[in-house]
Structure 1
């Protein structure tokens, strides 16, 4: 199969071409997506990106031949929200990698109370950040995967990623775990979240959703109702993407997430702080904090503390912390500037897979 040369504007074309080819062949081609659902474990989607050598020869693609990256969405999101970005990132890694570099498996999870994970047995209270991180470890064990090289977390998912790394370093998931080599925390304040630091939009959304009828009359009714309350059409449309029909014979819809569980997770997200992890990262771990340039979630004191952590003298006995600013992006980094985010992340991921 020939590989097209592409620029940032050709991401969608390149991906769609490969999907068309994949449907004609038996073996796994670049950027194929697998959907998984198992009782008592998190739902997930997997994007498979084989090495250039594997792509050329059509070789079987084994877990041991690849680097695994776990992607964790934010509050009221899902792994599906990160599908397109995962495909774009995978295409970029394939294009930039050397012939001998291993492939990648991008696994976009649905955290507890979200997406495919809603309604499954085993996700009991407390619905907090440590429990969400342990769910990730449990999934890895049940599926018998290699422990991930990389964990990527956006917003609330960023704190789940930090908790996962901290618990791995403490041995809380067992003695056979392997610490991730890279952690990417995308527009997620690592300390306690004070409402005064932003316009409190998340709190307003959650409070409003709890007042709505269930089931909701229709998607259109929901969008119009939210806009009448002062929420933007962009936000209202995105929230509406989390609605599903109650039945095929009715326009009534309900949430794909567990609203009460999500509210509890948000409270935990606000309360948890991981500054101590950033100040003393475990040896072998690189933590990269990416702040969206137009995000309202960062105040001057948080930025000062973050710069202090990243400017500390590097020590061979500890991990490292890096700080990046993603230009021309608000909180939804993978939507606002996916190419810019890939340009920040890809060089580090390529170095990791080549080491």
Structure 2
């Protein structure tokens, strides 16, 4: 184990690295712990380690992303909940790297098929392996939203055993509940995946990748985001921090998965909060109308409920385009949970 202390603008930062594949990092008022296990890699974000947590929110990234993409938002959420949640509730945020993504791409035990069902089962296995209670909240962006819905559906069916309960809140961020047909897809994701498949196994540099993708017509923001997922390959070049073939399998499963039945009959005690990014191009008008109808239904004591929200000033990358608005939308509702 090696420990070093460095000074940053936020004050003293202590980094403690555990070479048995775990580390703890404290940054200002936020405490982080990173662990890689044979189920999934994850990070914990808490406002303070002085109190034992008694409530948990999982954050699930989208296709080709990783938990670290949500680290800044998780810090803000943990801080807000620490200030505004009841004093008896101590929240922690768990940033998960889904199979084939981030540090989980290096884990050999995550066998195919790489689909929504197995991605959700990975979450259950993570909970079991760490001896955690079921998460109270799951926040899922894009593909991560469908993993969250699958997790809830499998909990309802008893697939993970009787000790698992459906989360109290499911936040589905700019992800449609039904199958994504070819007619409703703009084809950009497919173009990105095809482009990545055509690249050399060793990428010369992040700058080279960004320039190359922009020459092919992709936007700078998208190109730089793809470039942010590079890691040192140990040689002269860099490699992606995801398994491309596995991610493609997951994308195909994401497109085919349909969870309208879950939204039609959400489990008692659960709220499914569907969030549309105002400037997103992923929403068919009929899908929006269907969600609005579900959200306007009267209360049914035997079931949970669905609510529908529009996040202004945001495209698909909600946590980048309008992080303040997203935090205001989510934090107060999570803080209200008993």
Partner Cα separation in structure 2 for residue 213 and residue 95 of structure 1: 48
The equivalent residue for 1:9 is none
Mark the runs of 5 or more structure 2 residues left unpaired by the alignment: 1-7, 16-23
After TM superposition, give the deviation of residue 292 of structure 1 in Å. Answer: 0.3
Partner Cα separation in structure 2 for residue 27 and residue 230 of structure 1: 39
1:22–1:32: 8 Å Cα contact kept in structure 2? no
SS in 2 for 1:75: coil
Cα root mean square deviation, aligned: 2.1
Mark the runs of 5 or more structure 1 residues left unpaired by the alignment: 1-14
Partner Cα separation in structure 2 for residue 339 and residue 243 of structure 1: 27
SS in 2 for 1:212: coil
SS in 1 for 2:106: coil
The equivalent residue for 2:137 is 150
Alignment of 1:52-131 (within 5 A): 59=50, 61-62=51-52, 65-98=53-86, 100-131=87-118
Alignment of 1:275-314 (within 5 A): 275-314=260-299
Call closer, same or farther: CA 1:70–1:323 in 2, change over 3 Å: same
Q: 2:153 aligns with which of 166, 176, 190?
A: 166
Higher helix share: 1
2:214–2:223: 8 Å Cα contact kept in structure 1? yes
1:291–1:324: 8 Å Cα contact kept in structure 2? yes
SS in 2 for 1:205: helix
Q: Deviations over 1:94-136 (max 9, x none)?
A: 22234x2311110000000000101212211100000000000
The equivalent residue for 2:44 is 46
1:197–1:296: 8 Å Cα contact kept in structure 2? no
After TM superposition, give the deviation of residue 194 of structure 1 in Å. Answer: 2.1
SS in 2 for 1:262: helix
SS in 2 for 1:95: helix
After TM superposition, give the deviation of residue 75 of structure 1 in Å. Answer: 0.2
Alignment of 1:17-56 (within 5 A): 17=10, 20=11, 23=14, 30-38=29-37, 40-50=38-48
Partner Cα separation in structure 2 for residue 97 and residue 213 of structure 1: 49
Q: 2:250 aligns with which of 265, 282, 301?
A: 265
1:73–1:111: 8 Å Cα contact kept in structure 2? yes
Partner Cα separation in structure 2 for residue 86 and residue 244 of structure 1: 22
Partner Cα separation in structure 2 for residue 30 and residue 217 of structure 1: 38
Q: Is 1:217 aligned with 2:204?
A: yes
After TM superposition, give the deviation of residue 311 of structure 1 in Å. Answer: 1.4
SS in 1 for 2:315: coil
Partner Cα separation in structure 2 for residue 96 and residue 73 of structure 1: 25
- Aligned residue pairs: how many? 323
Partner Cα separation in structure 1 for residue 173 and residue 76 of structure 2: 17
Q: Deviations over 1:193-217 (max 9, x none)?
A: 1233242211110011111111122
The equivalent residue for 1:238 is 225
